[in-house]
Amino acid sequence: MLTELSIHDFAIIEDISITFNEGLTVLTGETGAGKSIIIDAVQLLAGGRGSVEFVRHGTKKAEIEGLFIIDSDTHPIYKVGKEYGIEISDKQIVLQRTITANGKSICRVNSKLVTLAILREFGKTLIDIHSQHETQSLMNPEHHIDLLDMYDAGQIRKTKQEYRELFNKLLSLKNRYKKLSENEQEMAHRLDLLQFQLKEIEQADLAPDEDQKLEEERDSLVNYERIYQALQDGYNALYGEQRGLEWVNKAQVALQSAATYDKFIEEKAEAISNHYYALEELTYELRNYTEMQQYSPSRLNELEGRLNEISRLKKKYGATVNEILEYMGKVEEEIEEITNKDSHLSKLDEEIKELEKDAYLEARQLHDLRKKAANSLTANIHKELKGLYLEKASFAISFGEVDGYNEEKLPLHKNGFDQIRFLISTNTGEPLKELNKIASGGELSRIMLVLKKIFSRHQGVTSVIFDEVDTGVSGRVAQAIAEKIYQISQASQVLCITHLPQVASMADTHKFIKKLEKNQRTFTSVSELTIEEQIDELSRMITGTKLTETAKEHGKEMLELANHYKEQKNTDKFM
């Protein structure tokens, strides 16, 4: 969960640090005080798109930092950390984002610099923000198939992976077929190019690892004087005027003269004797290798010429001789394919047909699993909708079935052959429509909340954020939404911006956002409300402006009812 959030010079926020707890944290305050700005900051921390407009006027950069505590050892964040080489210790991870006044974005995870894309990979496993943008995402039919698969991932994931492997192989074969069956003129040009390349490489008569061997020989010739001098100095030190071997021999003779009287001296005398003979052998090797050294300017020129030729080929066909030879093998295969195009096309066609059969069988299995998951999800959604006073609503999942539906003729795509659409009717007698055809803002808010509650459990995120999810609702519906948000907070940390007292009363922690002026500049402050302050804030939310005793009584009663509901839910959880 998100435990600490620090924001510096971000929009109207000068410098704030907020501590968050488990459960439901509600953020309230007047419009324009900076509530949504805090959520914007969290969204940027999760890899959202930044802008210089976020940098506080007159400052050089905006800085955001968040500390997350990971309770589960199996949380997907560990897999992401391993993939990008970022260690996560003590079950803590720190995300940092800096946006400079000139538009640069600097991202860090546990103090290690990362790209924005990598920060986004970490962010999406930690934070799930339900905002206007997120609502549009849930309403987008293209995302519905992924949501359904996520709902029953345990059953679907393996089958989907097996299908994807077949589908990718099928795509590869179809691309080869298309490339090989291109028009004659293009194939003729391709064949001419390949034959030219093959001839050029063959004429070079390359040998495996030739470039490495030639470079070693060239380096030896270029550094001939240094090598020869080193050999001479080494040999002379052991066998020349300095007579290093002679002194080792004297040490050997001296110890051997007393070896019969002392076990230690006997052992060391034998060791020195072994070293002496080894050094003597090494001396002979140095002498022989020195005598073999020859400097040949003509051979050096020959090496340089050959390496230049190889270098020219490397620019075209590979970074090493071995890569060039590997490329030559591929060229030979492609030339053979083009030359015998008809037989290869026939073979590819057979392979494609066989693979399509296998892919359709796997897609059918995927379809059956989705049908089963869809029945469970539909029942679950209907249950949740009733709790939000949408008992007359009807939810269904379309698989793209139409008149003349034949799955074997449906085009395969990366997710099978299903065309998943979430459909809903909110009134009796009304036809099922896609989510984006819902007219009522209050109905849309409730439906989105239901989907969020169900799918947030399967996404594994540690923090769910609702940015004014209660828009367009009031009365008993507002109370139902408040209860639903609290239910979500029992399984995951929830941060919620709201203007409804019913939602605010459910808070485990209530934070008040206030806009102040100081030195002719606007800034935002955040404070955690006491029980008395919470009652006053609920009263203000009920009446709007004037705080009356009656309103305070209503606020107190609302808080007591919320606490009673929470106690009841906690009791039910342990029964």
User: How many CB atoms are closer than 10 A to CB 493?
Assistant: 24
Cβ-in-10-Å burial (0-12, 13-18, 19+) of 6 comes to: middle
The vertex-266 CA angle with 260 and 267, nearest 5°, equals: 160
User: How many CB atoms are closer than 10 A to CB 500?
Assistant: 25
Quick one: three-class SS letters along 470-486? CCCCCHHHHHHHHHHHH
Give dist(CA 443, CA 237) in Å, integer. Answer: 94
Contact between 24 and 489 under an 8 Å Cβ cutoff? The reply is: yes
β-bridge partners, 254: none
Collapsed DSSP state (helix, strand, coil) of residue 140: coil
User: How high is the pLDDT of residue 378?
Assistant: 92
Residue closest to 76 by CA, chosen among 60, 64, 100, 93: 93
The vertex-224 CA angle with 223 and 225, nearest 5°, equals: 95
User: How high is the pLDDT of residue 442?
Assistant: 67
Collapsed DSSP state (helix, strand, coil) of residue 241: coil
Of all residues in the chain, the percent with pLDDT exceeding 90 is: 33
Residue closest to 418 by CA, chosen among 357, 354, 364, 353: 364
User: How high is the pLDDT of residue 460?
Assistant: 60
pLDDT, mean over the chain: 86
pLDDT digits (tens, 9 = 90+) for 530-557: 999 999 889 888 887 677 788 888 889 9
User: How high is the pLDDT of residue 89?
Assistant: 84
Query: Which H/E stretch holds residue 527?
Result: strand 521-528
- Please state the rounded mean pLDDT for residues 511-518: 86
- Please state the rounded mean pLDDT for residues 288-305: 89
Q: Compute the residue count for the chain.
A: 575
User: How high is the pLDDT of residue 53?
Assistant: 87
Between these two residues, 239 and 160, which has the higher pLDDT value?
Answer: 160
Block residue for tokens 């989105």: 448
User: How high is the pLDDT of residue 328?
Assistant: 95
User: How many CB atoms are closer than 10 A to CB 60?
Assistant: 11
User: How high is the pLDDT of residue 67?
Assistant: 93
pLDDT digits (tens, 9 = 90+) for 25-75: 999 888 777 788 888 899 899 888 888 888 988 899 999 999 999 887 778
User: How high is the pLDDT of residue 110?
Assistant: 92
**pLDDT tops 60 at residue 574:** no
- Please state the rounded mean pLDDT for residues 399-412: 68
Q: Please provide the DSSP assignment of 358-410 as one string.
A: HHHHHHHHHHHHHHHHHHHHHHHHHHHHHTTT-TT-EEEEE----TT--GGGS
Residue type, 220: S
Give the model's confidence band at 160: pLDDT under 50 very low, under 70 low, under 90 confident, else very high: very high
Q: Strand order of the sheet with strand 127-130? A: 127-130, 463-467, 493-497, 24-28, 509-518, 521-528
Which pair of tokens denotes residue 411? Answer: 């085009």
For residue 107, the 8-state DSSP code is E
Residue closest to 2 by CA, chosen among 72, 67, 92: 67
**pLDDT tops 90 at residue 6:** yes
Residue type, 311: S
Between these two residues, 463 and 574, which has the higher pLDDT value?
Answer: 463
User: How high is the pLDDT of residue 433?
Assistant: 85
- Please state the rounded mean pLDDT for residues 263-274: 90
By mean pLDDT, which of 168-177, 376-385, 424-433 is the weakest?
A: 424-433
| Packing angle of the helix pair 153-180, 144-151 (nearest 10 deg) | 140
By mean pLDDT, which of 4-18, 319-333, 428-442 is the weakest?
A: 428-442
Helices (H), 127-209: 132-139, 144-151, 153-180, 184-204
User: How high is the pLDDT of residue 293?
Assistant: 85
Give the model's confidence band at 405: pLDDT under 50 very low, under 70 low, under 90 confident, else very high: low
**pLDDT tops 80 at residue 204:** yes
Give dist(CA 209, CA 326) in Å, integer. Answer: 12
Give the model's confidence band at 406: pLDDT under 50 very low, under 70 low, under 90 confident, else very high: low
pLDDT digits (tens, 9 = 90+) for 75-104: 888 888 989 999 888 889 999 999 999 889
Direct distance between the N- and C-terminal alpha carbons of the chain, in angstroms, rounded to an integer: 26
- Taking phi first (over 0 means left), then psi (-120 to 50 degrees means alpha), and beta for anything else, what does residue 507 get? beta
- Please state the rounded mean pLDDT for residues 272-299: 89
User: How high is the pLDDT of residue 456?
Assistant: 66
Give dist(CA 42, CA 1) in Å, integer. Answer: 13
Give dist(CA 451, CA 447) in Å, integer. Answer: 6
**pLDDT tops 80 at residue 459:** no
- Taking phi first (over 0 means left), then psi (-120 to 50 degrees means alpha), and beta for anything else, what does residue 427 get? beta
The model scores a pTM over 0.95 = no
Largest CA distance in the chain: 116
Residue type, 277: Y
Of all residues in the chain, the percent with pLDDT exceeding 70 is: 93
Between these two residues, 343 and 202, which has the higher pLDDT value?
Answer: 202
User: How high is the pLDDT of residue 32?
Assistant: 75
